[in-house]
């Protein structure tokens, strides 16, 4: 199945598929398994996040920066590269090309700002 437009259906399809792959990944799986107890809650939160980011729904009220700074020792450059590779793979497989591209560009920008934030935090 492929979602043609950028809407809630695309997000509902994408988020669980992405985290299923992340959990099965040798590098990322253990990081997430040790940090997350309640997967349905995490998936619902990440659907809200992407809905806010891509559709301006305002559903996500959290703060991604401290959530990642908490785990900064595990979040290497290699881990980010893997996260983005799995994101690219999942979006390319599930979404129409233009929609996949929009999700990929956004994720790359957010990943960069998370990495800059963690770097700033380390240097303080």
> Is there binding between residue 110 and ligand HEM (CB under 6 A)?
yes
Q: Which of these segments, 1-9, 12-20, 57-65, 93-101, binds ligand HEM (CB under 6 A)?
A: 57-65
- How far, in Å, are 53, 78, 118 from residue 6 at the CA level? 12, 29, 30
Q: Which of 10, 11, 15, 80 binds ligand HEM (CB under 6 A)?
A: 80
Q: Which of residues 24-53 bind ligand HEM (CB under 6 A)?
A: 28, 31-32, 35-36, 45-46, 49
| 9: Cβ contacts below 8 Å, ≥ 6 apart | 3
Cα–Cα dist 93/32, whole Å = 23
Residue nearest to ligand HEM (CB): 62
Classify residue 16 by burial, with Cβ atoms within 10 Å: 0-12, 13-18, 19+.
middle
Q: Which residues form the interface with ligand HEM (CB under 6 A)? A: 28, 31-32, 35-36, 45-46, 49, 62-64, 67-68, 70-71, 75, 79-80, 83, 107, 110-111, 114
């Amino acid at each position: 199945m492929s979602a043609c437009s950028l809407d809630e259906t695309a997000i509902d399809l994408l988020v669980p598929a992405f985290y299923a792959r992340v959990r099965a990944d040798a590098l990322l799986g253990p990081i997430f398994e040790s940090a997350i107890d309640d997967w349905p809650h995490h998936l619902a939160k990440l659907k809200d996040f992407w809905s806010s980011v891509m559709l301006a729904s305002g559903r996500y009220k959290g703060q991604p920066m401290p959530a990642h700074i908490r785990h900064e020792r595990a979040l290497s450059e290699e881990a980010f590269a893997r996260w983005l590779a799995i994101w690219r793979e999942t979006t390319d497989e599930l979404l129409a090309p233009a929609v996949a591209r929009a999700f990929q560009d956004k994720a790359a920008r957010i990943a960069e700002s998370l990495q800059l934030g963690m770097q700033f935090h380390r240097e303080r």
